[in-house]
Structure 1
Amino acid sequence: MNRRCYQLIFNARRGQIMAVSEAGSRQGKSQPGESSAPAAVLAWAVGASLLLGGASPVAAQIVAYKDAPGNQRATVLRSGNGVPIVNVQTPSAAGVSRNTYSQFDVGGEGAVLNNSRTGAVTEVAGKVGANPWMAKGTARIIVNEVVSANASRLRGTVEVGGDRAEVVIANPSGIEVDGARFSNTSRATLTTGVPVHQDGKLHGYTVKQGTITVQSGGLDASQTDYTAILARALKVNGAIHAKELHVITGANAISADHKTVTPIAGTGAPPAVAVDVSELGGMYAGKIRLVGTEAGVGVRNAGKIVASAGEVVISSEGFIVNTGTIASSNQIQLAQRDTFTNTGTLQSAGAIKIAGRSHLYNSGRIQAGTDVHLETTGTDSDITHTDTAFLLAGLVSQEEGDVWGDTGSIDMGATGNVIASGKTMAAQSITASGGAIGTWGGELSAPLVMLYALPNPRRVRSRRTDPTATEDTQDNRVLEPGDINLTNAILTAHAKLVAQTDASLITDGADIAAPQMELGAADISNRLGRIRQLGDTALQLFVSGHIDNTGGTLVGRGDVRVRAGTLGNDQGRLLAAQVLRLDIGALANARGVLHGDLGLQAHAVSLSNAGLVDGAVQVDTQLRNDGTIQGSANASHIHNTGKIDGIATATESLENDGTVTGLAKAGTHLTNRGTLGDVATATLALRNSGTIAANASAGEVSNSGTIAGWVRSGATLDNSGTIASSATADTQLSNSGAIAGEAKAGTSLDNSGRIDGAAIARTGLTNSGVIAGFAQSGCRPGQ
């Protein structure tokens, strides 16, 4: 050995670099037959760095792992200003520099990963010398693997000196970040996984354990093109700034490009939360992607997740809970296996899509510049928007405030119920489909609103109670399977409303308005509600069951056509600007109004009216009128205690205790205790104790009232009242009242009253009263 050759070594006792002869004694001297070349190269590397950069060996912050192979042990020095300089190891042919440490902590002064062949000027350490391990070329990826039971602590800048490179810091025991920053780094990866190398290439990562925690000092990767955090769990108590942020949590095998993620068995119990962003935490990046693969382990955000140039994508095999803000200048996509809960704000300049296999619950604000798509596919999974919720599509945020754009639709689909009790508004359309729809007190507004209750016919579903209801509203917030319940809602469709269900459509206390409506249900309840069709097309309500319009209003600017099994209109109003057409099984109009400006055509199997029917009615069986019918009335049986302002025709019986202004005609019996304003006829019998203002005829006539015209009976006539004209009976005539004209009987005539005209009987005439004209017996009537 050349005794005049010297090497530079660090003297621990003196705490300085010393030049010693290679002939001198030293610790760890090679034994006979053992090469000392690696030690010489290391010494040369240290010396070169010291001479060029003024650096000294570093105290124990970053410590190379002593048991690692030589080609994985970096040289750790300290610059003149106290910044650690790490001469990372020679890269493989694939450009991967692999470095193993027993400690990798970065203080506030920062640290330099020296990737320079010729020296470089760095931000945190000033000028650094050449890294001799880079003699054949610099690294493309610098992998820093920590073998320790302790977490790494990153509190300063991690800078790549020299050529820009991707940096990986991997510690399965965890990483704590508090004021860290990356400089001159193309890509940065923080992971609690073990890097997997194959043929000199970084093949991927195996993550089985470990938490990465970002404390209040945060992480600044804003000068790095891409930042990844790969850990079993992530806690964020400070701000993360990046251009593109990709977070993958759970026990996984992850490819080097992070595009392939395969769940594996983890070490120990899973964490309670995969990603936990506190109120003081936040993620700020151009675009953000969070992936949680561990079953049942969710994502919780109480801070801010903001993508300024791209989308926010969050995928969780557990739950997603947002009490903070998730915002994007592009779009937001959320997918979760378990429940989604939002009490905070989701805001996007583009679309928002939330898809899951369990319940979706929103009591906060979801606002998209374009579309909102909400979907739950699990068994009986619900979508619920509470009274305080906002769901907005097409609302664009501008400097002067939020303005509505031209596009924006809301699409909600659930296998369970869709409940929208807050404000739901869209620039184009709102579509809701589920086992049942409920909007108690909610406000819905869009040009096109489509509601479909589509219960699964293969599954028996129980009635549901709105989980957001208070004790005061609980009784009114029960949602039966298949119902569309719009109780107390304000629903405005600026172009068209479609509501279809095989069960009940409930609009009690609601205000429903649209130029065009397509409403289909088995039953409709509109108690104290308003359904207003504002366009000229016909409003059609076709239901197989019952329409309850108690105190409600159904109105159309064109025709209104109602077909139902039964209709209850107690103090309600059915109004048409053109023709009101009713085809009802049983119609009960108690103190209500049925009116068409151009006419009313009402057909019912039975009708009970105590209100106003402003037009003609056709009833197959029983018509009971205690109100007013301003038109003709036709039925099998008519019982009138009100007013029929027109003709009353009964194919069987007619009973009048009120007023009929027109002809009264009965197929069998007519009984009048009121007033008939025109001719009264009956095939079998007519009994009058009221007033008939014109002629009367029947098979049999019994009069104790007043008949202003003549009376003709096909059989007997019994008069104890007043007949203002003649009276004729084909058989017997009995008079104890007054007949102002002549009286004729086909058989006998018995008079104990007054006949002002002639009295003529065919077989016999008995008189104990007054006959003012002549009396004749033994001739036929008409002779």
Structure 2
Amino acid sequence: MPVMNSHSYQVVFNRARGLQMAVAEHVASQGKPRGVRAARSACSLLATMRVLDFSILLSLGLVIDLAQAQIVPDLGAPRDQQSTVLNAANGVPLINIQAPNAGGVSRNTYKQFDVGHRGVILNNASAHTQTQLGGWVQGNPWLVNGTARVILNEINASHPSQLRGYMEVAGERAHVVVANPAGISCDGCGFINANRVTLTTGAPIMNGGNLDGYRVQQGAVTITGGGLDASRADYTDIIARSVRLNAGLWAQQLRVTTGANQVSASQSVVDPIATDSNVPAFALDVGQLGGMYAQKIVLLGTEHGVGMRNAGQIGASAGELVVTADGRLENSGALQASTDTRLNVGGGVANSGTISAGRELVLDTPKDLDNRGGTLNAMRLEVNADSVTNRGGAMEQTGAQDLVVRAAQVHNREDGRIGQAGADADAATTPGHDGLSGMNVLGDSGAVPLVAGALNVTHILDNDGGRVMAKGAIDLTAHAGLDNEGGHLGVRDLNVKGGDLVNRLGALYVTGSHQLQLGALQNETGQMQLAGPLTLNAQSFDNRAGQLVVAGGDNRLEAKNALDNSRGGQIVSDGALHIRANTLKNAQGRVQQACGGHLQIEVPQLEGVGGTLVSDGVLTLISNRADLRGGLTQAKQIHVDTDTLITAEGMLHGSGAGMLELKVRDVLDNAHGAIHGNGAMTLQTQQLINERGRISAAGTHDTQVDIADQLNNTNGQLVAAGNATVKARDLRNQGGMIRTKGRSNLDVSVGGTLDNRAQGTLAADGALSVTASTVDNRRGKLIGVHGLRVTSTTLDNREDGLVSATESHLKVDSQGHIHNAGGTLQAAGELSLDSTDLDNTDGAIRGSQVKLDTRQAALNNTGGTLMSHRRSPRREQWRTGITPAG
């Protein structure tokens, strides 16, 4: 490394310092040293030099020729602000800064301050010292009373300072300030041995010898080419009206303040001031080749309406990045921090690049956030804006913390993503599913717990074709509707109050609570998976080919108009489910309640052709008209209260031991259908149509069928394992069967006609009791295994009709005729007939004991058989008009 005066120097004793030191050859060994007085300037020193001495300094290259110099002191400034500009031995400019004041500030004023590629040395050494740029340099004679804490380089020029090399502080580290209101241009500049660096276009404000701050009215700091290296300084400050970067800036802790301001030296106080100068287009403008690289970065823009633009890289590698701007922030590059990134922007944010944080990203603006094609990325993400547009963009969580978005409107269309980084929304098939991996940003910030998140939209959330999938807890509140058509939305709590919720072809997952008060809920071919309890109020609910799954809780769905669950729609809940609507359309749809709860449906109209209603517990259906044709209705316990119930070609199944209760005020149509219960069964209706249908009760509980008008069981079946009671005004059982099993009794009571023709069967494994005004049993069967009693006005048992008590007694009480021509009346026990007329032509009357009472009317037994199993029937028990032949 070159040594100063390596060929022309001498060693003399300096009395003031009490040591030997190297000096120029012309310096005398004894006498009063020059430069001891702090008030003496370089100009006065040179002026008192002998002409021969000055010429020798010039010949040795130790003094710069002012005509050729790039650093020119301002000779019009006070003498104690005029530094001495020399050269080190290797030709690098050496500035003997002025003596510091009582506050430790060395104030140096220049008419020109340009630094070349070789750099410049600011001599803050009181003794000779080693430097990186100039090797050994002599001590600064102005510093006999101490070194400077702050080296203020104040430039009074009409043109910007050109800094193209390094500025090195020789000796004690100091705060280096370069202040030029005309501007500063840095191309390959840097700083060595400075503890703090300030580049400013403000005028320094001195107060009592202290540097209080800067008054900025104009000027730009521009960084190009080789950039700015302040990485060896602890702090770097740039204070200017505007800042432009098209190269890199490296620092430890960087703070940039822009705008017309009065700024304190520490930048802790920034007061905007009025100015008449031209307003810059951008307070901070970072080009594609530009960048800021520091451990911590703070960017502040105060000028009203003036924004920031970044197309480069701004990264805080070991701390936070803070950006505050009064105007709009435009970012097509990268804004990154290893810990937190905080943006407070008055004029909105347009981001087509990346804004990220290793821990928490907070973005606040009273205007819009336009993130089209951009990325917001952090472990925890918080956005507060008037509106958010995220079309094709990504607002990503990289950790398990929460997401907060508050805006009047959120547009997340065209594959926009909000929530989990790299989320595959199709992987989420149940509420709370998490098959997603996170991303890393600039480093590990540690596992720090953060508060719960929220997505609060005061107007409408438009997630058409977008994705919102939160890794942590997120609460979504949309005050004027939610559009998730073709989108994927996964949140913890969901609150939508007002407006429509559109989820056509979409997927909506909620793991927490939800309050839905909607205009229309449109879930056609969509998927909604929610954790209960659910409260949903809507004007209408379209779930055609859609899916609504609710896990747990007491859940309520209410639609003032129609709830359309047709075309394969599914509503599934494993908690209690209560549905109220003007109309429930469930044709080919499915409503299912699991896990032993209660499914209650209250609708004036239920259109459920081919649909399914299933409960693992109790099903209650209250309706004016319920059309369940071709469908399945199943529960362990069923209660139906309706005007009209149609189960034709379908199945209504009480699968448990609970009661199956059907109260139908008009018509119950089960033609070709099936009604089955395992417990007690009660059917109460005005008219029952069971033509080719089957009604069965498998349990040993009682079955009651109470029909106010007609029971049509033509070719149908009504079977009970327990005792059964059937009541009707008229009973049509042609080709049908009504029976009980397992020694159970059957009681059939008909106010009018019991039509049991054409192989109709009334049978009981226990006792059978039949009461009717007219019993038409032609080619029919009345069978009571353990007893049979028929009470009627007329019994017509002709044409192979059979009335039989197979193991017990038979009693027929007829107030009119008994027509048994070609029929059979028989009993294993006693047979008792009581009528006003008995026609047994070609018929058979048999019993262990036969009792006949025709009230002295005729008995026609032509070709008939009247037989007692005893050898000699007692005729006195035959009260007839003639003696029968037999």
Q: Does 1:693 align with 2:738?
A: yes
C-alpha change, 1:612 and 1:227, in structure 2 (3 Å) is same
Aligned mates of 1:36, 1:234 — CA distance in 2: 37
**What is residue 45 of structure 2 aligned with on the other side?**
41
Give the AA of the match of 2:736.
Answer: T
Larger radius of gyration: 2
Q: Secondary structure in 2 aligned to 1:71? A: helix
1:648–1:660 Cα contact (<8 Å) kept: no
SS at match of 2:513: strand
Aligned residues of 1:451 and 1:500 also touching (Cα < 8 A): no
- What is the CA-CA distance between 1:288 and the residue it aligns to? 0.8
Tell me the alpha carbon deviations over residues 254-285 of structure 1, each in whole angstroms, 9 at most, x when there is no partner: 11110111223343453333222222211110
SS at match of 1:644: strand
Q: Deviations over 1:277-317 (max 9, x none)?
A: 22221111011111122333333322211112111111222
Give the direction of change, closer, same or farther, for the CA distance of 1:733–1:175 in structure 2 (3 Å limit): farther
Alignment pair present for 1:624 and 2:646: yes
1:543 alignment partner in structure 2 = 557
> For the Cα contact (< 8 Å) 2:693–2:713, is it kept in 1?
no
1:368 and 2:378 equivalent? yes
Checking the alignment, whether the CA contact within 8 Å between 1:740 and 1:755 is kept in structure 2 is: yes
Q: How many angstroms apart in 1 are the aligned matches of 2:348 and 2:393?
A: 19
- For the pair 1:605 / 2:626, whether they are aligned, the reply is no
The alpha carbon displacement at 1:238 in A equals 1.1
Matched, 1:639 2:669: yes
Partner of 1:582: 599
The residue type paired with residue 665 of structure 1 is V
8 A contact 1:444–1:490 mirrored in 2: no
Verify the 8 A CA contact 2:483 2:500 in the aligned structure 1: no
Q: Which residue of 1 aligns with 2:341?
A: 332
1:702-781 aligned within 5 A: 703=755, 707-709=760-762, 717=774, 723-725=780-782, 740-741=802-803
Shift of 1:438: 5.6
The answer to whether the 8 A contact 1:667-1:682 is kept is yes
Amino acid in the other structure paired with 2:619: Q
Task: Name which of 384, 388, 406 aligns with 1:413.
Answer: 406
Give me the whole-angstrom Cα distance separating, in 2, the residues matched to 1:690 and 1:174: 108
2:225 matched to which residue of 1?
216
Q: Secondary structure at 1:216's aligned position in 2? A: strand
Asked if 2 retains the 8 angstrom alpha-carbon contact of 1:453 and 1:502, the reply is no
Q: Contact 1:430/1:446 (CA < 8 Å) preserved in 2?
A: no
Query: CA separation in 2, counterparts of 1:722 and 1:417?
Result: 77
Note the residue ranges of structure 2 that are not aligned, 5 or more in a row: 1-23, 27-38, 421-433, 439-448, 488-495, 655-659, 697-702, 719-723, 740-746, 784-788, 804-810, 826-831, 846-851, 858-878, 880-886
Secondary structure at 1:544 match in 2? strand
Aligned to 1:660: 694
Q: Is the 8 A contact 2:801 2:820 kept in 1?
A: no
Cα distance change, pair 263–37 in 1 and its aligned pair in 2 (3 A): closer
**1:1-400 aligned within 5 A:** 40-43=44-47, 54-58=62-66, 59-79=68-88, 81-362=90-371, 363-369=373-379, 371-376=380-385, 381-386=386-391, 388-389=393-394, 391-394=396-399
Supply the distance in 2 between the matched residues of 1:275 and 1:215 (Cα, whole angstroms). Answer: 14
SS at match of 1:137: coil
Amino acid in structure 1 at the alignment position of 2:378: A
2:708 partner letter: T
User: Which residue in the other structure is 1:499 paired with?
Assistant: 514
Find the aligned partners of 1:49 and 1:723 in 2 and give their Cα distance: 143
Distance between the aligned counterparts of 1:671 and 1:719, measured in 2?
15
Amino acid at match of 2:663: A
Deviation string, structure 1 residues 612-668 (Cα, Å, up to 9, x no partner):
222243222243324322223523353334322234623544444562322673453
CA distance in 2, matches of 1:235, 1:482: 46
Q: Secondary structure at the match of 1:56?
A: coil
TM-score, length of structure 1 as denominator length: 0.76
Whole-angstrom CA distance in 1 between matches of 2:512 and 2:294: 41
Partners of 2:306 and 2:770 in 1: CA distance: 93
Post-superposition offset of 1:222: 0.3
Q: Give per-residue Cα distances to partners, 1:120-164, cap 9 Å, x unaligned.
A: 433223444444443433322222233333222222112223322
TM-fit CA distance, 1:217:
1.8
Corresponding residue number in structure 2 for 1:32: none
Unaligned runs of 5+ in 1: 1-16, 20-34, 395-406, 456-460, 470-478
Q: Which amino acid in the other structure matches residue 432 of structure 1?
A: L
Contact map agreement 1:412 1:418 (CA 8 A) in 2: no
| Distance apart, 1:547 and its partner CA | 5.5
SS in 1 for 2:601: strand
CA deviation digits over 1:442-466, x for unaligned, max 9?
A: 56666764544252xxxxx5x6768
Relative to structure 1, the CA distance from residue 481 to residue 314 in structure 2 (aligned partners, 3 Å threshold; closer, same or farther) is farther
After superposition, the C-alpha distances for 1:514-544 in whole angstroms (9 at most, x for unaligned) are 8x5443322466554555577xxx3543223
> AA paired with 2:782?
S
**Closer/same/farther in 2, CA of residues 731 and 319 from structure 1, 3 Å limit:** farther
Q: Do the aligned partners of 1:700 and 1:713 also contact (CA within 8 Å) in 2? A: no
| 1:17-64 deviations in Å (ceiling 9; x for gaps) | 9x9xxxxxxxxxxxxxxx999953354699698799823234242333
Counterpart selection for 1:650 from 676, 684, 688 = 684
CA contact under 8 A between 1:422 and 1:441: conserved in structure 2? no
Q: Say if 1:324 and 1:635 are closer, same or farther in 2 by CA, change over 3 A.
A: farther
Deviation at 1:572, TM superposition (A): 3.9
| Contact residue 713 and residue 731 of structure 2 kept, 8 A | no
* TM-aligned CA deviation for residue 237 of structure 1: 1.3
Shift in alpha-carbon separation, 1:692–1:219, aligned structure 2, 3 A: same
- Corresponding residue of 2:6: none
User: Aligned runs of 1:563-582 on 2, under 5 Å?
Assistant: 563-565=579-581, 567-575=584-592, 578-582=595-599
Q: Identity percentage over the alignment?
A: 31
Q: Deviations over 1:225-263 (max 9, x none)?
A: 101111222222111100001111222221111011122
The amino acid that maps onto 1:155 is R
Cα drift, residue 390 of structure 1: 5.2
- Cα distance change on mapping 1:222 and 1:600 into 2, 3 Å: same
Aligned length: 705
- Report if aligned partners of 1:449, 1:498 keep a CA contact under 8 Å in 2: no
Deviations 1:481-509 (A, max 9, x none): 4556565556678xx43333323666655
Q: Secondary structure at the match of 1:709?
A: strand
- 1:475 aligns with none
8 Å CA contact retained: 1:728, 1:743: yes
**Whole-Å separation in 2 of the counterparts to 1:97 and 1:674:** 116
Hey, what's the Cα distance between the residues in 2 that align with 1:255 and 1:776?
Answer: 128
- For normalisation by structure 2, the TM-score amounts to 0.68
Of 464, 471, 477, the match for 1:453: 477
Number of the residue aligned with 2:425? none
How far 1:210 moved relative to its partner? 2.7
CA distance in 2, matches of 1:487, 1:132: 83
Whether the 8 Å contact between 1:483 and 1:501 is mirrored in structure 2 is: no
Q: 2:610 aligns with which of 574, 587, 591?
A: 591
Give how far 1:583 is off.
1.1
Which string of whole-angstrom CA distances, capped at 9 and with x for unpartnered residues, describes residues 60-112 of structure 1? 42333454333334344444544333333333221222333333222222222
Name the CA distance, whole Å, in 2 between partners of 1:467 and 1:77: 74
